[in-house]
Structure formats: C-alpha cells, structure tokens
Structure 1
Amino acid sequence: MRYVITGATGHLGQTVVRHLAQLVAPQEMVLGVHTPAKAANFAAQGMTVKGLDYQQPATVQAVLQDADVAIYIPSKSHDSFSRVTEFEHVLTAVERANVGHLIVMGFIADQATNPFALSAFYGYVPRRLAQTALSYTILRNALYADPLVPYLPELIDRQNVIYPMGDASLSFISLEESAAAFAKVAVTPALWTQTTYTLTQERSYTMPALARVLSDVSGHSIGYAPVTLRQFAEMYNQGNEGHMLASMYAGGAQGLLATVTDDYRKIMGRPAQNLPEFLTATLKRRAQGR
C-alpha cells in the first residue's frame, strides 16, 4: 500500500504521520511537504519525503502518483479564494494520479450562512467533491481543544472567558484524537462508505460552562465576560488573523460551532476524551515537562 500525506510538517499533518506510522510500515508512507528539510526526522525513519507546492499542480501530482490513499491537509492561507484555488490544483492532480481514495480535512464552520472567513472554502469542498467520481472521505474537525492550554494563564489573569459567543456553545476535539481518526480511516476501507464524519467530543459547552471547566482544572475562579467581535479582532490580530478569528466566533454566536456527533466513536470504537479530562491530562504533562 502507498499512503500519501500532504502538509505533513504542519501541526495536524505531523501528528497524522505519527499515528499512521503506528498502523503501517514507514516504507509505505510518502510525505508531501513544502520544505523537505523540516521532515528529515521522518525520512530517517524510512518514509519517502517529496517537495510539494500546492500552487504547482505538477509537483502535487508527482507526490500523489498511484497513491492507494491520499490525505489532503490544506495550507494555512487565510482566505477562501486561495484555498479553493489550491484545492482545485489538488483535485486535478488526484484525478490524474490514479489515487485510490482521498481523505480531506474539513471544519464544522462550513454552513452556507456562516460568516467565518473560511466557511466558503469549507463549504466548497463537499460540494465540489460531490461532482467528481472520486472515492473520498471528509473529516470535519470541531474546534481544537489544545489552544485552551496555553491560553489558560491569560484567562486566569483576566478572570474571565472573553469569547464573543453570547448564549451559544462550542464543540471541541483534541488535535491528537483528530489525527488518530485520520489514520484509522486511512487504513480502514470499511469506513469509507460514509463520505463525511464530524470529529467532536460528545458534548458542547456554553461559555459559562466552559468557564467552570477552566476554573476546575486550573484552581482559579474564571467567569464569563465577553468582549465585542471588534474588540476581539483587535486584541488577537497577530499575523493579521484578528478578522478571521472574530468571524469564526461570529458564526459560533449563531450556534454554528456547536455540532456534536458520535462519529469519533464510530471510527475509533470509543468516545473522544472529554474536555475536563483532556485539559487535566495536558496540564499535568506540561507540569512534568513532557
């Protein structure tokens, strides 16, 4: 078998690689990366590393050629037009490269009415794939729970969660469990009969409920005092991401980030770790320097 992972040195990509390497031989894995030097540790394990530029379809096709399974992880571009263009290049390459099955990363903020800056891309993906004759699976992630850990000291200082969410709730999944699900789907053709899975924990959290969880795991009193969307965008505009982040929570305030499913259980045979357990375990590992 030949398993190809694109974007293999990003946060999700390298975690998918690590989980897939527990299920298949490294020699069966081909990694498409923008900077091959960043994947030297994977090459040392026996994986094939190839240069890939999403804007150059020929390089994409060369990486994907004759893949039994290809896992496409998008770049981190911040606008839907760039990502749609990238995805079209990938689809062209997939159709020419004789790929057996395509797995695509999705996100729960893909609704037609969602104001999230990237919702157009995430909504385009399933509609575009439906036009093809490809065998494919879309894995829609909930919000990653992981950023809550480094964010916690700021929330302790503020004594409040400040997400502009109103009474709506958020759904989470950890990066580790998302990656594990990607790897499991890649090696399990029986799971390909369902074209879309939504990876979430088995409950969502209103902001007061999230504040209680963060209070419990940190030992500090944290409440809920939301800022406005404009304030949030200005506060977190590092890398010019403020508008994108605020637009995501604008969708969240409409209840569009609250999806909960048992799809993770369908894939892995067990429920996803709940948020309090995830945060407690992660904080413990950080305290131990692991």
Structure 2
Amino acid sequence: MLITVTGATGHLGRRIVHQLSKTLSPNQIRIGAHNPSKAAALMEAGFQVAHLDYQDPATLTPALRDHHQTYLLSQSTSLPMTELAAIMTKVSGHQIGYQPVSVAEFARLYREEGDGDELASMYQAGAMGLLSGTSDDFWTITGHAPTSMADFLAANYRPK
C-alpha cells in the first residue's frame, strides 16, 4: 500500500505524516508538496516526495496514479468561506469577513509569511472546487468522526 498525503509539508499534513509513520514505513508514504524543497528532511528519512501544485493539474496525475484505493479525508460537510468566516468570528471574538481576491493577490497577501505561493495553490484548488468534496472515509479509516471546524478552531485558536 502506498498512501499519498497532499499538503504534507503544511501544518496539518506534517501531523498526518507523523501519525501515519507510527504504523507505516516511509516507503509506504508518498509526500505530496507544492514546494518539494520543504520536504528535504522527509526525503532524507526515506519518504518519496512528489511535486503537487493545484494550479498545475499536470502535476497531480503522476503523483496520484497507481493507487488502487483513494480516500478523501474531509469533514462530513463542506463549508463555504462565508460560513468559515462566521465560525472564526465566533471563536475569535473579532469580526472576520471574506472577500474573494485573485490567486495572484492572495499569494501577495501571504508572501510575507513565506507561504504565499503554497497557500495560493490551495486557494486556487478551492476556487476550482477541488476542496469541496466530502466523504465518510475519515470514519472508515479511524473509526470516529473528524473534529468539526468549529470545535477544531475553538480548541486550537491562540490569539497573539
């Protein structure tokens, strides 16, 4: 079995790889990364690394091919950005709004944090509808429901 973890160099992706590594060997886990240089340490640890860029669908097929089973680890509902903003407003106690911007503008807004292009790739994937899928696969694999976005943010939000 070979499992490809997309976004594996990001905050959540790294945690998923860490958890999978407790039961699978590195040669059973493929690291999907927008920026493969961020996965150098994982490659040195024996993981396969594949370039995945949601803005360039040609990078998706090679990295995801040859899988006999595909799982979508998601929440049971897809939340539009306006709903996410409402949840973030409630959790943070600050008014959070949402205003669509171009992919280039989104990248510019987050470039100072060092993640502009990577986050823009995810933003583009969302705009293409690639992040709106839902499934019960999380339950199938783990035996329990995923944490809701509201509960996750309430447990993990740390104001600066």
The answer to whether TM tops 0.5 is yes
Q: What's 1:175 paired with?
A: none
Q: Is the 8 A contact 1:13 1:73 kept in 2?
A: no
**2: distance between equivalents of 1:235 and 1:241?**
10
Aligned to 2:71, the other structure's residue is in SS state strand
Which of these residues, 235, 240, 263, is aligned with residue 109 of structure 2? 235
* Residue 203 of structure 1: how far off its partner (Å): 1.0
Q: Answer yes or no: is 1:250 the counterpart of 2:108.
A: no
The one-letter code matched in structure 2 to 1:245 is: L
Q: Answer yes or no: is 1:218 the counterpart of 2:156.
A: no
Q: What's 1:280 paired with?
A: 154
**2: distance between equivalents of 1:203 and 1:250?**
20
Q: How many residues align?
A: 141
Residues 135-166 of structure 1, C-alpha deviations (whole Å, 9 max, x = no match): xx5xxxxxxxxxxxxxxxxxxxxxxxxxxxxx
Alignment of 1:1-290 (within 5 A): 12-13=13-14, 16-17=17-18, 20-21=21-22, 70-74=28-32, 77=35, 116-127=54-65, 129=66, 195-238=69-112, 242-283=116-157, 286=158
Change (3 A) 1:205 1:15: closer
The one-letter code matched in structure 2 to 1:282 is: N
Name the larger-Rg structure. 1
Aligned to 2:72, the other structure's residue is in SS state strand
Cα RMSD for the two superposed structures: 3.7
Q: Is the 8 A contact 1:197 1:263 kept in 2?
A: yes
**2: distance between equivalents of 1:258 and 1:14?**
21
Residues 85-138 of structure 1, C-alpha deviations (whole Å, 9 max, x = no match): x9xxx88xxxxxxxxxxxx9998x8xxxxxx335322222233x2xxxxxxx5x
* Residue 240 of structure 1: how far off its partner (Å): 7.0
Q: Is the 8 A contact 2:34 2:118 kept in 1?
A: no
**Overall identity of the aligned pairs, in %:** 33
Q: Would you tell me which structure has more strand in proportion to its own residues?
A: 1
Please, what TM-score do these two structures have when normalized by structure 1?
A: 0.39
**1: distance between equivalents of 2:25 and 2:64?**
25
**2: distance between equivalents of 1:125 and 1:18?**
21
Aligned to 1:73, the other structure's residue is in SS state strand
Structure 1's unaligned 5+ residue stretches are 1-9, 24-28, 32-63, 65-69, 80-85, 92-103, 110-115, 130-136, 138-193
Q: Is the 8 A contact 1:199 1:263 kept in 2?
A: yes
Q: Is the 8 A contact 1:78 1:244 kept in 2?
A: no
* Residue 250 of structure 1: how far off its partner (Å): 2.8
**2: distance between equivalents of 1:74 and 1:222?**
31
